[in-house]
Amino acid sequence: MAKKGDWVRIHRVVLKAEERTAKLPEDTKACDLEMWTKGTLLADAEIGDEVEIETIVGRREKGELVEVGPYYTHSYGVFVPEIIEIDKQLRKIMKGGDK
């Protein structure tokens, strides 16, 4: 249950696949053009409901409620061993004196 006033994320299909007329590769043509944005929920709702929000600049936008309290999870990623190999190689070339 999301309350009026919660900061939420909504989703909307801008163009259905069959409505896409631009010059597109086949794989893209088979997909809907989808949109997400965030804002303040204007009335109590459940996830999946059609809702209206007011975005940070004051714009009204409608769409399906997909997330309450949206947050970022991107990071510095998992270990990539090759990066250590680059470090070791550079150290060897610059400090080891060989080419």
Query: Site residues (CB under 8 A) for another protein?
Result: 14-15, 19-25, 27-28, 30-39, 55-59, 72, 74-80, 82-83, 85-87, 89-91, 93-94, 99
CB 26 to another protein: min, Å: 9
Residue 79: CB minimum distance to another protein, A: 8
DSSP state of 78: S
Nearer to another protein, 14 or 43 (CB): 14
Measured from the CB atom, is 1 or 99 closer to another protein? Answer: 99
Residues 6+ apart with CB under 8 A from 35: 11, 12, 13, 14, 63
Residue 51 burial (CB < 10 Å; 0-12/13-18/19+)? buried
Read off the tokens for 2.
Answer: 């999301």
